[in-house]
Amino acid sequence: MIITREHRTKPYPLGVRAVGDGLEVAVYSETADAVDLCVFDSSGNETAHRLPERSGHVFHGRVDGLGVGTRYGLRVEGAWDPANGLRHNAHKLLLDPYATAIEGEFNWDEAVFSHRFDAPDEMNPTDSAPFVPRCVVTDQSFDWGDDTAPLTPLDETVVYETHVKGFTKTHPDVPEELRGTYAGLAHPAAVQYLVDLGVTAVELIPVQQFAQDSHLLENGLRNYWGYNTYAFFAPNADYSASGDGGQQVVEFKQMVKTLHAAGLEVILDVVYNHTAEGNHLGPTISFKGIDNGAYYRLVDEDRSSYFDTTGTGNSLNVSHPAALGLIMDSLRYWVTEMHVDGFRFDLATTLTRQAGEAEVHSAFLDLIHQDPVLAPVKMIAEPWDTQGYQVGGFPADWSEWNGKFRDDLRDFWGGADSRIGGVSQRILGSPDVYEASRRSPLCSVNFITAHDGFTLADLTSYAHKHNAANGEDNEDGESDNRSTNSGAEGPTEEPAVIERRNRMRRNFLATLLLSAGVPMILGGDEIARTQGGNNNAYCQDNEISWYDWSNADDELRRFTADLVALRRAEPALRPDWYRAAASQEPDDATTSTVDLLRSDGNPFSDTDWDDPSARSIMFVFAHRDRDAFALLLNAAENGVEFTVPAAPDRDWELVVSSDPEQTVVTPVTTLIVRDGSFTLLRSRQGEA
């Protein structure tokens, strides 16, 4: 290609995009000697186009006569020197890090690896093109119409963590050809279910294009969760009902538009901490062959090895502008082009490690804070990685998965000692975690269960994990899940065991939905979805993980929906800031208050919080000019008599209880709450 001034291109934006009657291409690499855009015709024939220009560390150029729908990859020439972190190998067809659609899957032949299996330091000269997917140039135009982001305030937000495929794969009211897809999630039956449940946001576990692990495929399994990303701009094509040649982009956008029209936000669970290329023995599919040291953290003393804080073999090099730029560009793309409303960052602590230690003022966090596109959207951290636990360590405008909420509530309802102090902190929005740094309860995303671990039904049914189907001799997954199982293990017909399980499930859902913070429901918990005791179903893309709609617990679903509706309607149950004691007059109309009382109606003393026998507590929530509520929790093995304070307005009335036989006689002065149960009372606003 002869470059004249009118053909000169810019080194940005990175990636491949259709402009006029050609493609403009830009690829970042500090260490490459040359970069080729390799185009494939319908017969699979390859034509290489050398990028003629280089500005700084960006190779760029234009190829005329090509446009939307072009299938392509990259080949990068440069040094092969693993000891110094260089893994260039032009025999490998590489995926564009900025590709917006991927067609096809990997065939894990040795050709996909830059090294030889029998000699990892030696270059593998076999062409990988026959064994890897293709990037697709997409048309980003889409009729968004009057699409408007719901912008649900955090204090009104109820998150529903779910899986695009699993949610509708067996749904009887979704057409079979749409089940398990973006279009299936956007089907009226699926949308109406979410609306009726009352949640305000769906948090989708990974939908960015991810790789199927070779060892799983060899064992007849598949990566179901998707925490193995390799294309951060591309929606996973496996969830597309309309094809993988770019149609998946349109289908994803239509799903977002449909969910927005129903008032539902879309939050993506994103995996920017590592990629599917693994460690030094992993495949070369993109970043390794483009610029290994720019995109990955390498071990200073041995640059053939990868610094790993994710447990997957590699970690993104967030101290380097190329890796940071990739993450930021990807986030902006999903907001501006795909209209998503927020992100949950897998192992987010890894992204804050620039020189090894987690930093609250890391470049990653600072860039998001000042970015006008990203600053307004919801940012949720999984605040830990394999090297540290950072709950409470993120900036004030971030929310965090609060693992302490999960652990303390499981311990409380499971009967562990000395948990009254912990459970009170969690229900009040974890002030012990957030108040010192002047952070709101809304920084706490509360959850009892998540995709990683037992479902709620299994938490209350199994004392031990049952992961044999994963093929790892039941040694995978967490061994201590703080199970609250009592009685028979697994399915049972014993009425007493069934009744206790039902109460425990309602206890968990109620304390989740009646606590300060942002509640997150694991999708399917509201219908008692079971995985048969499997607490690590990452590789179970089958009936173990899919929602079993034919056995849905409709009573539990209605119970959950009623609690969600109550929470959303009553500001006393969803405070956006910490509360003073109810005896103190709220200073404005937005302030909620709380009293914490022992079962005898008296305040707790300092020694009460440490009493290992304490198993009961009462919360009285109020909000100016609105109804007040009394939440009575009894985790003891016996019934407890509560002395209920005088109703602030009209007499206390029963709202809901996990004990189906709970009754009240007005005026309420005392109330017996049976073993392992909760009861919620209400004093309606108005004269007593």
| pLDDT, position 480 | 61
Residue 205 has pLDDT above 90, yes or no: yes
| pLDDT, position 612 | 83
Residue 275 has pLDDT above 80, yes or no: yes
Q: CA-to-CA distance for 470 and 681, rounded, in angstroms?
A: 45
| pLDDT, position 384 | 85
- Report the relative pairing of strands 22-28 and 15-19 from DSSP bridges: antiparallel
Instruction: Give 308-329 pLDDT, tens digit per residue.
Output: 999 999 999 999 999 999 999 9
To the nearest 10°, report the CA torsion of 478, 484, 488, 493.
Answer: -120
- Catalytic-labelled residue, pool 24, 265, 341, 346: 346
What is this structure's pTM? 0.96
Following DSSP, what letter does each residue of 20-55 receive, concatenated? Answer: TTEEEEEEE-SSEEEEEEEEE-TT--EEEEE--EEE
Residue 407 has pLDDT above 80, yes or no: yes
Q: Which two tokens stand for residue 410?
A: 């499981």
Q: CA-to-CA distance for 163 and 203, rounded, in angstroms?
A: 8
Whether residue 490 contacts residue 461, with contact meaning beta carbons closer than 8 Å, is answered with yes
| pLDDT, position 579 | 56
Nearest to 76 by CA among 113, 37, 42: 37
Confidence class for position 604, pLDDT limits 50, 70, 90: very high
Which of 192 and 593 is assigned the larger pLDDT? 192
Nearest to 510 by CA among 603, 389, 619, 613: 619
Q: What is the mean pLDDT of the chain?
A: 94
Mean pLDDT of 116-123: 96
Q: Hey, how many other C-beta atoms are within 10 angstroms of the C-beta on 154?
A: 16
Q: CA-to-CA distance for 208 and 211, rounded, in angstroms?
A: 10
| pLDDT, position 353 | 86
Q: Which helix (H) or strand (E) holds 457?
A: helix 456-459
Confidence class for position 199, pLDDT limits 50, 70, 90: very high
Helices and strands in the chain: count of H runs, count of E runs:
15, 34
| pLDDT, position 185 | 98
Instruction: Tell me the residue type at 511.
Output: T
Mean pLDDT of 164-193: 98
* Bridge partners, 87 (sequence order): 80
Whether residue 29 contacts residue 78, with contact meaning beta carbons closer than 8 Å, is answered with yes
Residue 242 has pLDDT above 90, yes or no: yes
Instruction: Tell me the residue type at 583.
Output: S
Residue 44 has pLDDT above 70, yes or no: yes
Helix axes 247-261, 188-197, angle to 10 degrees: 40
Dihedral pair phi/psi, residue 63, rounded to 5°: -120, 115
| pLDDT, position 247 | 98
- Report the relative pairing of strands 201-204 and 159-162 from DSSP bridges: parallel
Nearest to 304 by CA among 118, 114, 132: 114
Angle at 205 between CA 368 and CA 540, to 5 degrees: 150
- What is the 8-class DSSP label of residue 517? S
- Report the relative pairing of strands 229-235 and 208-210 from DSSP bridges: antiparallel
Which of 623 and 46 is assigned the larger pLDDT? 46
Tell me what percent of the residues of the chain surpass a pLDDT of 70: 95
Q: CA-to-CA distance for 330 and 265, rounded, in angstroms?
A: 19
Instruction: Tell me the residue type at 300.
Output: D
Residue 587 has pLDDT above 80, yes or no: no
Known active-site residue 382: yes
First vs last C-alpha separation in the chain? 86
Mean pLDDT of 79-106: 98
Nearest to 428 by CA among 400, 409, 456: 409
**Which 3 state secondary structure label does DSSP give 326?**
helix
- What ranges make up the beta strands (E) of 236-301? 265-270, 298-299
Whether residue 288 contacts residue 279, with contact meaning beta carbons closer than 8 Å, is answered with no
- Catalytic-labelled residue, pool 382, 408, 411, 458: 382
CA dist 90 to 27, 74, 129, 289, Å? 15, 9, 11, 8
Instruction: Give 536-586 pLDDT, tens digit per residue.
Output: 999 999 999 999 999 999 999 999 999 999 999 999 999 887 654 444 554
Dihedral pair phi/psi, residue 544, rounded to 5°: -60, -40
Q: Which two tokens stand for residue 354?
A: 């620039």
* Bridge partners, 135 (sequence order): 72, 102
Instruction: Give 447-490 pLDDT, tens digit per residue.
Output: 999 999 999 999 999 999 999 999 999 999 987 656 777 667 88
Q: Hey, how many other C-beta atoms are within 10 angstroms of the C-beta on 369?
A: 15
Instruction: Give 492-530 pLDDT, tens digit per residue.
Output: 889 999 999 999 999 999 999 999 999 999 999 999 999
Angle at 200 between CA 199 and CA 205, to 5 degrees: 85
Q: Hey, how many other C-beta atoms are within 10 angstroms of the C-beta on 176?
A: 11
Angle at 502 between CA 500 and CA 505, to 5 degrees: 110
Q: Is 496 exposed, middle or buried (0-12, 13-18, 19+ CB in 10 A)?
A: exposed
Mean pLDDT of 59-78: 98
Dihedral pair phi/psi, residue 468, rounded to 5°: -55, -35
Q: CA-to-CA distance for 255 and 588, rounded, in angstroms?
A: 40
Known active-site residue 77: no
Residue 396 has pLDDT above 70, yes or no: yes
17-31, 281-295, 331-345, 372-386: range with lowest mean pLDDT: 372-386
Nearest to 54 by CA among 11, 94, 22, 6: 11
Q: CA-to-CA distance for 252 and 240, rounded, in angstroms?
A: 8
| pLDDT, position 496 | 93
Q: Which domains are assigned to the chain? A: 580-683 (2.60.40.1180)
